[in-house]
A and B are shown apart, each in its own frame.
Chain A
Amino acid sequence: MRLIARRIVLYLLTAIVAITVNFFIPRLMPGNPVEVAIGHIEGQVTPATIHALDLQYGLNTKLSLIGQYFHYLDQLVHGNLGISFSSYPATVTSVIRSALPWTLGLVGLATILSFVAGTLLGIVAAWRRGSWLDNLLPAMTFFQAAPYFFVAILIVAVFATKLGWFPQNSGYDTTTLNPGLNWPFLSSLLDHAVLPALTIVVGSIAGWIIGMRNMMLTTMDEDYVLIAAAKGLSNRKVIGYAARNAILPSVSGFSLAIGFVVSGSLLTEIVFSYPGLGYILLQAIGSEDYPLLQGIFLIITFTVLAANLIADFTYSFLDPRTRQEA
């Protein structure tokens, strides 16, 4: 469990760094863009809101930097990320709360799907080296290297616009349906999620395939795999012997990948006008909604750290060597 403890310390530190960086970025920028942005909304919002924003960004205040920092931390602890400019008078927290489930559902499912399918294909590619899968590797590399949103645009153009198999945008049929636990809504939900999920899978699967294939090739050179074959175990068991070990770097590499996948998913959501964090992120950029922008940054960071912790628990479950007390 030492591994887990060490990782938790790392994630706490990372969270502190993210929170602190988030505090300083607007204060370090030349030309004070926040003041300009607040100027734009002055008159449309209550003076109390302006005062709260001034306090949040350290404008027109006598509070020292340290004082401002502790005020910021205090607000954060109470879940107060400020008021959203673009969705006034909604708070940043409420805007994010309505978008977060969409992103978590989409990214979570697509990532698990991509990881499982990619790992299995990687195993097959290594075991039958030289098969058709190897010839697909360059094409998969292209989709890995191409930006997610470009893959999204291609998929929209082909499967939604040209073929009309799936809807082009949004999370469900907003014109006729209301969210609820009923079949028409759920099927619409699924229908709208297929293409964004496909984008995320196409964009990320090559990494899992190639990583797993290469690790399998390395692992299959190990003596214990040869012994497994010599013992007369079935091919499936021999592959299992190698795969149980080869998957470990994939799981520990998950923490590296998850940041990329989440970032890519945000962009995918934009192309599909999917009502998740990516969509409100675009909105925040377009309307200089700095509190929302910063709120999204923090939430994504915390989500990624949580996903990392899950990956760490999985790793320590899979590798007995990390479990020993020492």
Chain B
Amino acid sequence: MITVTGEPLLEVRGLCVDYGSGDSAVHAVVGADLTLHGGEVFGLAGESGSGKSTLAYSIARLLRMPGVITGGEVVFRDAERSVNLLDADVQQLRELRWNQIAVVLQSAMNALNPVMQIGTQLTDVLQAHRPDLDRAARRDRAGELLDMVGIPRGRLSAYPHELSGGMRQRVMIAMALALEPRLLIMDEPTTALDVVTQREILEELMDLRERLGFAVLFITHDLSLLIEIADTIAVMYAGRLVESAAAGQLYRAPRHPYSYGLLNSFPSLHGPREAMIGIAGSPPDLRQLPDGCVFHPRCKYVMERCKHESPPLVSPATVSPGAPPRLVSCWLHDGAPETSTPAELAVPDDLAMAGAAAAPAVASPTTGSAS
């Protein structure tokens, strides 16, 4: 099992994204930090409006108007180069995107041009990036790509409306892998599909990752899905990363009250019956965020300090020795003597790791470093 190489592939530091400008600007992403390693599956979870898709689009510089990146850096690294995408010009982006970083969007129906054959849509990317290939070679390679995702070559001349939803999403994955990129950004790639298809596609995706060794930034609202497939999970709330940790750690030993709430919002299919806790209140309006910690109005552990001071995303004070690094943005973990961390938010990491070892689906993760 190949997978995480340990070398940082993509580093996002202090990324800020606004919608609009001036006083009316909505701060959709504020100071996001994350590190993706080669071959890693990095899951980004959050509810509607949490900024997870905005973050993903911004990394690739694909966010549309009125989205504006207002700060930070997005550095892509490999053996040959280290490029800050936010400083890159059109030409550099053209070289980087699809060659190294490809994207798969939520609805494949909208991502495929309805009036063009899928073969044309697969070959034009080759034509743009592989000028040495002639027409026949491009066609051949496109057929190979379809084979790879389990679609018969004959469908090259099909139009998108002639394919099922699952097949269209496979075509999109084939298209994204056309140039064998090192990183795949996937925005809710399976949300629009039925469960069986979703499962098939995810399994195929994981197989392909093993064969080709690309990393995945997987954005979804479905935390359970991430726990199964991701090495590392980051949780977003109101434009901020509130917690990031190895998948098993996050699942068994969440540190942030919001992560904990999410994990307990829905009944578990496995394991003992537990009372559902859920999260009171509703997500905040990004134009009128509360002072202090953005989550404090909904947090049942709220303290006086939370209402005035915004907690930084740092390593929690109680990290078990030898456990992989993790980050949380919460005053409950500041380690101050007067702070009493509730037991459910202080499950020891080694316990979590023991659980992870028993569940091989969760690969050994390495997490973003504290800055």
Is there a direct interface between A and B, measured as CB atoms under 8 Å apart in the complex?
A: yes
Binding site for B on A (CB under 8 A): 221-224, 226-234, 237, 241, 244-245, 248, 318-321, 324
A321 near B97 with CB under 8 A, answer no
Kindly list 4 other residue pairs between chains A and B, CB separation below 8 angstroms, not including A224-B114, A233-B128, A319-B115: A222-B110, A232-B97, A244-B116, A324-B162
A233 near B105 with CB under 8 A, answer no
Q: A244-B116, A321-B159 are in contact. Are A224 and B129 (CB under 8 A)?
A: no
Q: B48 at interface (Cβ–Cβ under 8 A)?
A: no
Q: A221-B64, A224-B112 are in contact. Are A324 and B161 (CB under 8 A)?
A: yes
Residues of B within 8 A of A222 (CB): 110
Residue of A nearest to B96 (CB): A232
Dominant SS at the A interface?
A: helix
B105 near A223 with CB under 8 A, answer yes
A230 near B97 with CB under 8 A, answer yes
Q: Mark B107-129, 1 if CB is under 8 A from A, else 0.
A: 10011111110000000110011
A230 near B115 with CB under 8 A, answer no
Number of interface residues of B (CB under 8 A): 28
User: Which single member of B102, B110, B159 contacts A223 (CB below 8 Å)?
Assistant: B110
13 A-B pairs in the complex with CB atoms less than 8 angstroms apart: A223-B105, A223-B107, A223-B110, A224-B114, A227-B103, A227-B111, A232-B95, A233-B128, A237-B124, A319-B115, A320-B161, A321-B159, A324-B162
Residues of B within 8 A of A232 (CB): 93-95, 97-99, 125, 128-129
A233 near B125 with CB under 8 A, answer yes
> Which has the most chain A C-beta neighbours within 10 Å: B62, B103, B115, B125?
B115
Q: B60 at interface (Cβ–Cβ under 8 A)?
A: yes
Residues of A within 8 A of B107 (CB): 223
User: Which single member of A223, A231, A318, A320 contacts B124 (CB below 8 Å)?
Assistant: A231
Residues of B within 8 A of A321 (CB): 114-115, 159, 161
> With A and B bound together, what is the CA distance between A232 and B181 in angstroms?
13
Residues of A within 8 A of B94 (CB): 232
User: Which single member of A224, A230, A248 contacts B62 (CB below 8 Å)?
Assistant: A230
Residues of A within 8 A of B161 (CB): 320-321, 324
User: Which single member of A230, A234, A245, A318 contacts B113 (CB below 8 Å)?
Assistant: A245
A230 near B98 with CB under 8 A, answer yes
User: Which single member of B93, B114, B125, B128 contacts A245 (CB below 8 Å)?
Assistant: B114
Q: A221-B64, A223-B105 are in contact. Are A245 and B110 (CB under 8 A)?
A: no
> Which has the most chain A C-beta neighbours within 10 Å: B60, B98, B99?
B98
Q: A224-B110, A227-B103 are in contact. Are A320 and B115 (CB under 8 A)?
A: yes
Closest CB pairs A-B (n = 9): A223-B110, A232-B94, A320-B159, A223-B111, A224-B113, A231-B125, A232-B128, A244-B115, A223-B105
B113 near A226 with CB under 8 A, answer no
A228 near B113 with CB under 8 A, answer yes
What's the nearest-Cβ distance from chain A to residue B168, in Å? 11
